[in-house]
Structure 1
């Protein structure tokens, strides 16, 4: 289906710094995405399929593909938004010893009220937020065009299809980090202390979460580091 190819192309050009569309100030990428998603829907509707049940089954599969395309788009926009709102420099990835001492001191001492720093939004992250809102509105339009209520009614009149043997079971589980013992530095120096943390990632190498850094220890213990995954 043409949607897959479109996802690959749009994922590479999601800088979203180009021209903005309409009064809602969203970028052209969301308009292009839903233009591509609407094409197969209009094609199926123009067929006027006489068997309502078969038509409902096919439209359900198409809706699943559309859902995956929109999810990938929104994830890409979310990642770009986080990169712009929370930029990370080289020193953030591997802090210097002095900054590590300062961070460790902040963990033990908290004096007075925290100073509120003013953050000025640039147009780029605002456009990305508008893109997410535009996706929600356009998704409602797709739902109306596909006549979801009619599809549901056609499926309710028939028994459910047999489960696909290729479908993998999905489970919700929680990962809790407790402690590590007898860690060794990269240079095997027994006197060296480590700044330790744990990074959660999926099978594709995508970062999901990161625990708080515990400084100067070979036996770190995390009190409440946990994450839930599906």
Structure 2
């Protein structure tokens, strides 16, 4: 008789590696979809191939939710990208919070080491400091600009780290904001509705799609020209 899930603690599937049974169940259920996304990103193919891992996972998971609701009879989820993008943003934030909370603890750093052998629990902390000085922009702080059709209005939203609020507004007042000045990345995301397309053939083709177009444009800077009319 097969063991019940609650009775089985761990299953050894690869040498000494112990994998919880519930994880095997999740892999059996969702492994093909996860591997498909991994393969697409390795080949540089698909809508999510240029995104960072967390964003790619978030948008792919949001697509699953939208597809499930649509197949269940809720056609309204295909009218705009609002649900999909809101879900992706929430999932992406959860992934980033998870990654931040599970960074390995740094212990045993030795600074200004005189060259003497380090103990088994020690490492040269000066190397990390020098690496940070060589690449002060890691990790990059992301600034996201979204154009969304909420169903009740068209919105332009800017999401950025709180630490850049004053710098951002001050730079815009002067006429230019360059994210590289603040070790940040900047991207514009657009959910494009068919009626927004000016080319009639492209508009007709877009209307035949089961979902709206979504594009992500990396930006180098935001420039503002103040004109006295």
TM-score bracket relative to the smaller structure: under 0.3
Higher strand share: 2
TM-score (norm 1): 0.24
Structure with higher RCO (Cα < 8 A, 6+ apart)? 1
